[in-house]
């Protein structure tokens, strides 16, 4: 059993040796075919010198192959990471577009449904957004889909107090124009534009472009 194990080990060593010297042997054989006289003069055919040359050539080859394999691995890993991020962004934008379309359809359908008036019940007052509310919505829309903002950032932009901006944010959040995002900045909650807010900003911009 020990003899079988030693025999298998020798075969493995020979196989590893052949694999290592394969690039050098290939280069030397092609060189001998193309320039047999030069190869004979240089003594790189069938002697110890040729074995040394083959070892050096094979070493350079495997070193280069290792570098190429490592760079290929890093490129594939970076490509996969970017591809996954792209898929997440596309999925988020699809969901946002579907939500905005749904909100737009509901708003359009409500225009054809007569308002119901019940005796003794006061009508719900129409929400009126002031200039600061519109500025907050436009800032959130300009930030881009899915990107969060906070009251201090907008306050710094418009030279206001964060508490003023926060009151407008609370008002817009109650009317579902903004969504709360996990995290905070300087003690103020982060937020982003909701699908309803995106639809409202798009309709407001179209009305003011006409």
Mean pLDDT computed over 39-62 = 69
Give residue 124's pLDDT.
36
Q: Give dist(CA 83, CA 1) in Å, integer.
A: 53
Mean pLDDT of 136-164: 81
- Cβ pair 18, 53 in contact under 8 A: no
Say if residue 157's pLDDT is above 60.
yes
Rounded CA-CA distance 2/65 in Å is: 36
pLDDT at 48 over 80: no
- Residue pair 203/138 in contact by the 8 Å Cβ criterion: no
Judged by DSSP in three states, 209 sits in: helix
Residue 181, strand partner residues = 190
Q: Could you tell me the pLDDT band of residue 121, with boundaries at 50, 70 and 90?
A: very low
> What are the structure tokens assigned to 139, written together?
């800032």
pLDDT-derived band at 118, boundaries 50, 70, 90: very low
pLDDT single digits (tens) 15-47: 777 788 788 777 777 766 666 666 555 555 555
Higher pLDDT, 10 or 165: 165
Nearest-angstrom CA–CA distance, 159 and 144: 22
| Distance, CA of 54 to CA of 25 (rounded, Å) | 6
Q: Where are the domains of the chain?
A: 14-112, 131-209
CATH architecture assigned to 131-209: Orthogonal Bundle (1.10)
pLDDT for the residue numbered 119: 43
Considering only residues 50 and 79, tell me which one the structure prediction assigns the higher pLDDT.
Answer: 79
Compute φ and ψ for 79, nearest 5 degrees: -65, -45
Q: Rounded CA gap, 8 and 137, in Å?
A: 74
Joined together, the tokens standing for residue 24 give 């050098």
Work out the average pLDDT over 97-102: 83
* Segments in 35-47 forming alpha helices (H): 36-42
Statement: residue 63 has pLDDT above 70: yes
């Amino acid at each position: 059993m020990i003899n079988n194990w030693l025999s298998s080990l020798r075969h493995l060593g020979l196989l590893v040796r052949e694999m290592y010297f394969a690039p050098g042997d290939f280069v030397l054989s092609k060189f001998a075919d193309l320039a047999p006289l030069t190869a004979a003069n240089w003594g790189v055919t069938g002697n110890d010198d040729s074995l040394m040359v083959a070892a050096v050539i094979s070493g350079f080859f495997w070193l280069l192959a290792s570098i190429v394999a490592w760079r290929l691995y890093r490129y594939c890993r970076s490509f996969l990471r970017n591809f996954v991020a792209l898929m997440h962004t596309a999925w988020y934008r699809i969901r946002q577009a579907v939500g905005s379309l749904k909100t737009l359809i509901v708003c359009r359908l409500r225009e054809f449904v007569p308002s119901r008036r019940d005796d003794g019940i006061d009508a719900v007052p129409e929400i009126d957004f002031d200039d600061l509310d519109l500025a907050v919505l436009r800032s959130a829309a300009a930030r881009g889909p899915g990107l969060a903002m906070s009251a201090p950032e907008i306050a710094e932009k418009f030279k206001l107090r964060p508490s003023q901006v926060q009151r407008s944010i609370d008002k817009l959040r109650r009317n579902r124009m903004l969504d709360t995002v996990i995290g905070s900045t300087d003690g103020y909650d982060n937020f982003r534009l909701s699908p309803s807010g995106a639809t409202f900003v798009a309709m407001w911009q179209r009305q003011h472009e006409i």
